């Protein structure tokens, strides 16, 4: 499976982000950065097109949840073309509480010219804060996620504390 690419376009009232390939933590930061940016640009709808998304990890889904929370009551977030597997993943961790689903993108979403989402993520990749927040959001979203992500969250917190103090011991 190829690592994901994010392609996006914006019209006056809608933004579209098409995810191609395997959506992991490696593209979660650019998704978060671009998604949060367009939420504040006066759009009414954000479409996340998963037609070409082969798989998703928890960090990527947590970022979708973060965008859904930030959009509440002002921008509709639509996940289009999720496919059965990706839909089950999103339903299974409660992201479906924050987004609407569509079987396909709207005609205007398919006809816009998409460009690569700029990635300002450094070579180090996603920030520890984003990794942590993505998993905390998933735990807050649905209590059944707590046992799934508790160890990840605790590990990330310890690593961040060690980085802050300069202590590299485990």
pTM (predicted TM-score) = 0.87
Residue 163: predicted pLDDT: 83
Domains of the chain: 5-165 (3.30.750.24)
Sequence-separated (6 or more) residues with CB below 8 Å from residue 107? none
Residue 11: predicted pLDDT: 87
Residue 106: predicted pLDDT: 54
Query: Quick one: DSSP state of residue 113?
Result: P
Q: Which residues of the chain have pLDDT under 50?
A: 107-109, 122-124, 170
- Report angle CA 96, 149, 137 to the nearest 5 degrees: 45
């Amino acid at each position: 499976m190829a690592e994901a690419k994010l392609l996006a376009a914006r019209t006056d009232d809608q933004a579209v982000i098409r995810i191609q390939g395997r959506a992991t933590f490696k593209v979660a930061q650019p998704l978060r950065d671009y998604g949060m940016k367009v939420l504040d640009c006066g759009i009414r709808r954000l479409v996340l097109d998963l037609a070409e998304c082969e798989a998703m990890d928890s960090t990527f889904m947590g970022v979708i949840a973060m965008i859904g929370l930030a959009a509440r009551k002002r921008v509709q977030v639509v996940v289009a073309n999720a496919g059965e597997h990706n839909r089950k993943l999103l339903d299974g961790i409660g992201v479906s509480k924050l987004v609407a689903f569509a079987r396909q993108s709207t005609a205007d979403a398919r006809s816009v010219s998409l460009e690569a989402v700029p990635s300002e993520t450094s070579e180090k990749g996603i920030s520890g804060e984003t990794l942590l927040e993505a998993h905390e959001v998933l735990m807050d979203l649905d209590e059944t996620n707590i046992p799934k992500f508790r160890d990840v969250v605790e590990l990330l917190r310890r690593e961040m504390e060690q980085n802050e103090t300069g202590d590299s011991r485990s």
